[in-house]
C-alpha cells in the first residue's frame, strides 16, 4: 500500500510491530514517532532514503545501540533513553539538523569530531549522559547546551566564542574543574548582533570547580549584566524583559554588589535628581527589595530561605563604560550619592540570592514584583 498523502506517522509504544515503514510506502513522510518501540534493535539502511523526513523520535528504545542510517533532511532527532554508545560520522553531513536530543543516553561515550559542521544546530541536550567525558568542537550557532550530569572535566575553550549561546547547563558535572573565560570582543558581538534578552547558566553541584573557573563564571555574569544595561539604555521600546540567571556553588555575594544585607530584604536610598522613565517611580526616593526562593517552574521553594541578599544598581553610563574595559572586578553600581552630582538616568537592578536549606518554619513569601534585573543564584 502506498500512502502518498501521509506526512505524519506515530508508531510509539508499538509492541507487535515487526517491520519499520518503508520510503516506498510513505514517500512524503515528514514526521515519524517510534518512541518506545520495544522491538527496535537497529535502524535499517533504507531509513536514510526518506527524502522528506525531518523529525524522528527514537527515544525510549532501550535496545537500540547503533544508529547507522539518518535521513538527509533531518531537522530534529531524539534518541533520549536509548542505549546508543556513539553517533555515526554521517551525522556531520546532515547539515539541516537543528535539534539533537540525547538525554539519559548513559552508554554514550563520545560525539563525532565533525559535529562542528552542523551550522544550523541550535539545541544539543546531553543531560544525563554519564559516560561522556569530552566534547569535540561545537557548532558556532548553538543556543542551548546541556551537559548536566556528564563526566567532563573541562569545558572546551571554544565555548567562549559561542556568541549565540543563551542557555548553558553544567549542573551536576562533579568532575568539572575548569571553565574558559569569555572574551570582550565576543561580548561586543553579543550586544551588536544578538541582544541578550535572556540567558541561563547553571553550575550547581559541580563541586570540583577551581577558583579560576568560579572567577570566570562571575566575570561572565557581570558581563551579561552590563550587556542588559546597555540594551535597556538604548532609545526606543523594549519588547522583551531582559533576564539573566546564573546558578553556581558558593555562599558569598560578589563585592560589586555594593548593597548587601543579612536576611531577605534590602532598602536603598536613591540619588537625588535621578530620572526614571516609569511614571510611578518619578518621585521615588527609596527602593526596597524582597527576596524569596523559587523553583524552576517559578513555584515557591519551602525548604529554603534567604540568608543574605545583595543589589547592584547600574546606571546608563555604567553599562557603556563597563563594556569599554576588560571584565574583572566590575565598576558598576558605585552609587554613593556623593558620586552622582548631576542628573542620573534610571538605575537597573541586579540582585543576588543565597539559598540554604533549613528545617524551621518558612516565612510568608511576598508577592513577586516585575523589574528588569538579573538573578545570580548560589
DSSP SS3 for 290: strand
Burial class (CB in 10 A: 0-12, 13-18, 19+), 318: buried
Of all helices (H) and strands (E), which one includes residue 245?
strand 243-247
Residues 11-31 have a mean pLDDT of 86
Between residues 312 and 50, the one the model is more confident about: 50
The alpha carbon dihedral of 178, 183, 186, 192 has a sign of: positive
Angle at 340 between CA 335 and CA 342, to 5 degrees: 155
User: Contact, 138 vs 120, CB < 8 A?
Assistant: no
Output 293 or 295, whichever has higher pLDDT: 293
Helix (H, G, I), strand (E, B) or coil at 211: helix
Q: What is the pLDDT of residue 223?
A: 76
What domains lie within the chain, and their CATH numbers? 8-247 (3.80.10.10), 259-377 (no CATH)
In contact, 209 and 176? CB cutoff 8 Å = yes
Tell me the pLDDT tens digit for each residue of 302-341: 888 888 999 887 766 665 555 544 444 444 444 333 333 3
Residues 328, 215 contacting (CB under 8 angstroms): no
For the stretch 56-74, pLDDT in tens is 999 999 889 889 899 999 9
Helix (H) or strand (E) holding 40, with range, is none
Amino acid at each position: 500500500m502506498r500512502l502518498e498523502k501521509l506526512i505524519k506517522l506515530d508508531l510509539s509504544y508499538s509492541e507487535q510491530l515487526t517491520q519499520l515503514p518503508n520510503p516506498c510506502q510513505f514517500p512524503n513522510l515528514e514526521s515519524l514517532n517510534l518512541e518506545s518501540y520495544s522491538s527496535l534493535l537497529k535502524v535499517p539502511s533504507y531509513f536514510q532514503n526518506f527524502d522528506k523526513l525531518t523529525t524522528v523520535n527514537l527515544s525510549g528504545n532501550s535496545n537500540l545501540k547503533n544508529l547507522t542510517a539518518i535521513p538527509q533532511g533531518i531537522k530534529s532527532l531524539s534518541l533520549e533513553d536509548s542505549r546508543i554508545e556513539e553517533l555515526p560520522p554521517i551525522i556531520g553531513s546532515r547539515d539541516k539538523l537543528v535539534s539533537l536530543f540525547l538525554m539519559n543516553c548513559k552508554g554514550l561515550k563520545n560525539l563525532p569530531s565533525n559535529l562542528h559542521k552542523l551550522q544550523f544546530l541550535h539545541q544539543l541536550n546531553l543531560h544525563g549522559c554519564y559516560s561522556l567525558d569530552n566534547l569535540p568542537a561545537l557548532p558556532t550557532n548553538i543556543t542551548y547546551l546541556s551537559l548536566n550530569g556528564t563526566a567532563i572535566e573541562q569545558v572546551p575553550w571554544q565555548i567562549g566564542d559561542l556568541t549565540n549561546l543563551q542557555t548553558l547547563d553544567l549542573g551536576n558535572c562533579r568532575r568539572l574543574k575548569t571553565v574558559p573565560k569569555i572574551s570582550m570582543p565576543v561580548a561586543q558581538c553579543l550586544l551588536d548582533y544578538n541582544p541578550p534578552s535572556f540567558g541561563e547558566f547553571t553550575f550547581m553541584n559541580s563541586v570540583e570547580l577551581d577558583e579560576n573557573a568560579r572567577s570566570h563564571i562571575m566575570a561572565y555574569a557581570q558581563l551579561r549584566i552590563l550587556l542588559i544595561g546597555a540594551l535597556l539604555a538604548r532609545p526606543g521600546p523594549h519588547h522583551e524583559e531582559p533576564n539573566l540567571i546564573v546558578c553556581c556553588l558558593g555562599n558569598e555575594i560578589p563585592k560589586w554588589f555594593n548593597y548587601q544585607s543579612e536576611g531577605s530584604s534590602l532598602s536603598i536610598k536613591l540619588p537625588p535628581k535621578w530620572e526614571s522613565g516609569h511614571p510611578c517611580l518619578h518621585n521615588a526616593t527609596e527602593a526596597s527589595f524582597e527576596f524569596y526562593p523559587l523553583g524552576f517552574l517559578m513555584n515557591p521553594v519551602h525548604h529554603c530561605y534567604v540568608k543574605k541578599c545583595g543589589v547592584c544598581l547600574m546606571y546608563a553610563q555604567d553599562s557603556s563604560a563597563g563594556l569599554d574595559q576588560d571584565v574583572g572586578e566590575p565598576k558598576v553600581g558605585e552609587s554613593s550619592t556623593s558620586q552622582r552630582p548631576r542628573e542620573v538616568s534610571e538605575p537597573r537592578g541586579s540582585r543576588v540570592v543565597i539559598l540554604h536549606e533549613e528545617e524551621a518554619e518558612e516565612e510568608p513569601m511576598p508577592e513577586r514584583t516585575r523589574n528588569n534585573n538579573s538573578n545570580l543564584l548560589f
